[in-house]
Structure 1
Amino acid sequence: MRIFILGATGRVGSVIVNQALHDGHEVTALVRQPDKVLFMDRRLTLIQGNARNREDVSQAIREADVVISALGTDGTTTLSEFMKIIIDEMNLQGIKRIVTVGTAGILQSRVEPELYRYQSSESRRRSTTAAEEHQRVYEMLNASNLDWTIVCPTYLPDGEAIGNYRVERDYLPEDGVSISVGDTAEFTYQQIFKKEYIGTRVGIAY
Structure 2
Amino acid sequence: MQVIIFGATGMVGKQLVKQALYRGFNVKAFGRNVFTEDLPKNDLLELVQGALFDEGQVYQVINGCDAVLSALGGDFTGADVTRSLGMKNIVAQMEKANVKRIMAVGGMGSLQADDETLIMDQPGYPTKFLPVSREHLKALEFLKASTLDWTFVCPPDIINAESTGHFIVAADYPPVAGTNKINAGDLALFMLNEMEKKDFVQHRVGISNTAGI
User: Which TM-score band (shorter chain)?
Assistant: over 0.9
Structure 1: any 5+ residue segments left out of the alignment?
none
> Which residue does the alignment assign to 2:137?
135
CA distance in 1, matches of 2:38, 2:126: 34
Distance (Å, rounded) in 2 between the aligned partners of 1:115 and 1:73: 26
Aligned to 1:182: 185
Q: Which amino acid aligns with 1:154?
A: P
Q: 2:182 is paired with a residue of what secondary structure?
A: coil
Instruction: Find the counterpart in structure 2 of residue 4 from structure 1.
Output: 4
Out of 134-143 and 30-39, give the one that drifted further. 30-39
Deviations 1:18-54 (A, max 9, x none): 1111111111111101211432211111111111111
Give the SS at the match of 2:128.
Answer: coil
Q: Aligned residue for 2:203?
A: 200
Amino acid at match of 2:73: G
Partner of 1:29: 29
Instruction: Please identify, of 152-161 and 63-72, the stretch whose mean Cα deviation from structure 2 is larger.
Output: 152-161
Per-residue deviation, 1:115? 2.0
Question: Following superposition of structure 1 onto structure 2, how do residues 37-48 of structure 1 map, counting pairs within 5 Å?
Answer: 37-48=38-49
What is the TM-score with the length of structure 2 in the denominator?
A: 0.91
Secondary structure of the residue that 1:205 maps to in structure 2? Answer: strand
- Note if contact 1:26-1:44 (Cα within 8 Å) is conserved in structure 2: yes
State TM-score, norm by structure 1.
0.93
- Please provide the CA RMSD for this pair: 1.4
AA aligned to 1:62 is N
Residues 1:131 and 1:59: Cα distance change in structure 2 (over 3 Å): same
In structure 1, give the amino acid aligned to 2:146: S
Distance between the aligned counterparts of 2:102 and 2:195, measured in 1?
A: 8
Match of 1:78 among 78, 82, 102: 82
Give the residue type in structure 1 aligned to 2:140: Y
Higher mean C-alpha deviation, range 180-189 or range 128-137: 180-189
Residues 88-117 of structure 1: CA deviation (Å, up to 9, x unaligned): 11111111000001111100114xx42211
Match of 1:161 among 160, 163, 167: 163
What CA distance in whole angstroms lies between the structure 2 residues aligned with 1:175 and 1:191?
20
* Identity across matched positions, percent: 38
Moved more, 34-43 or 148-157: 34-43
Distance 1:115 1:79 in 2: 22
Are the equivalent residues in 2 in contact too, given 1:73–1:133 (CA < 8 A)?
no
Equivalent pair of 1:4/1:66 in contact (CA under 8 Å): yes
Q: How has the CA–CA distance of structure 1 residues 191 and 122 changed in structure 2, closer, same or farther, with 3 Å as cutoff? A: farther
> Helix, strand or coil for the counterpart of 1:163?
coil
Q: What are the Cα deviations for residues 70-129 of structure 1, in whole angstroms up to 9, with x where unaligned?
A: 11133411221121211111111111000001111100114xx42211111363353311
**SS of 1:149's equivalent?**
strand
Question: Are the equivalent residues in 2 in contact too, given 1:29–1:45 (CA < 8 A)?
Answer: yes
Q: Report the AA paired with residue 11 of structure 1.
A: M
Cα pair 2:72 2:82 within 8 Å, conserved = no
